[in-house]
Amino acid sequence: MAIVSVIFGQTAIMFLIMLVGFLCFRVGLVDESGSQQISNLVIYISNPALLLNSFIGNLKASQLMDGIYTLIILIILMLVTIVIAKIIFRQPEQMLVRFALIFANLGFIGLPLSKAVLGTGSVFYMSIFVGVSNFALWTYGIYMISGDRRTIQLKRLAVNPAILALIFGLIFAFTGIKLPGILSTTVSDLANMNLPLVMIAMGCYLAEGDIRGALKSKSLYQAIGARLIIGPLIALLLLWFVPNNLMMVKMVVLLGQATPVAALMAIFSNTFHKNALFSTTVVGLTTLCSLVTIPLFMGLAQWFWHLG
């Protein structure tokens, strides 16, 4: 159960940094444009640096093979989750709840938490999760919220920072190319900025939302339950069929599936005028609640996967 105590410690640190972001917004040190700029730094700078950094170095052949297994598992998980979301939350007004179940905050939360809890080697597998999720987000996800198939533009994927970082990272991984020392250190330092920037941005998101008003909404509790309970349960049960010799892959996939709602939910909702205030509150509150649910599911997995 050592991993659970590590997660508790790490999530406590995340909570405190998020609290800093919350207070900064509330006292006026950061406003809405500032929180958006922090998010942009994460999306365009620190997050791609973390992705790229996970591939720099000598990846073992076994890791590359496990990466293929990870990709297969993630595609199956994504498809199963989409089907279950459609079955449980079939009403048109539950569209945002359905989105919350399907899409996790892998880039913002999953990558830095994976590195902190499971080690640098785990970031390679989480990076694959980010790639699968980003592809689904910018195709099916954006269609869900916009309701317009014309919003699905594959060219957006071609210039997506995370996708570009994955492409260059895979080139480094398969060719063995190494960055010069100064560049490597620069990428590493930018990657280390990711967690603090992410949690400050999440704190600002939480401060922006109308928490009192949102607490009266039934849909809010459905979204929180969908993302933080149903989502991880789907992964927990599905991963039971995966051999335990892929334990690192299993832990990474469950950790990613247990993270809060994707921050793009708030951005897409604002862009297409689909209850952006609700989405922002869901992002903030699922982030806060996940500080409790993530350690619980990771602890449950250690027991459940070793049954029999």
Pairwise pLDDT comparison (51 vs 58), residue with the higher score: 51
Give residue 223's pLDDT band: very low, low, confident or very high (50, 70, 90): very high
Torsions phi, psi for 44 (to 5 deg) = -100, -15
Q: What is the mean pLDDT of residues 165-193?
A: 83
Pairwise pLDDT comparison (68 vs 147), residue with the higher score: 68
- The domain segmentation of the chain, as residue ranges, is 2-302
What pLDDT is attached to residue 214? 67
Whether residue 264 contacts residue 138, with contact meaning beta carbons closer than 8 Å, is answered with: no
Percentage of the residues of the chain whose pLDDT score is greater than 90: 31
Crossing angle of helices 61-88 and 95-102, rounded to 10°: 160
Give residue 113's pLDDT band: very low, low, confident or very high (50, 70, 90): confident
Q: What is the mean pLDDT of residues 211-236?
A: 89
Pairwise pLDDT comparison (213 vs 117), residue with the higher score: 117
| pLDDT tens digits along 256-306 | 999 999 877 877 777 677 877 788 788 878 888 888 899 899 989 988 887
Domain 2-302 has CATH 1.20.1530.20: yes
> With 60 as the cut, is the pLDDT of residue 138 above it?
yes
Give residue 59's pLDDT band: very low, low, confident or very high (50, 70, 90): low
Q: Which residues of 30-46 are buried (b: 16+ CB within 10 A; e: fewer)?
A: beeebbbebbebbbebb
Mean pLDDT, the chain, whole residue set: 84
Give residue 212's pLDDT band: very low, low, confident or very high (50, 70, 90): confident
The angle subtended at Cα 161 by Cα 70 and Cα 53, nearest 5°, is 60
| pLDDT tens digits along 231-249 | 999 999 999 999 999 999 9
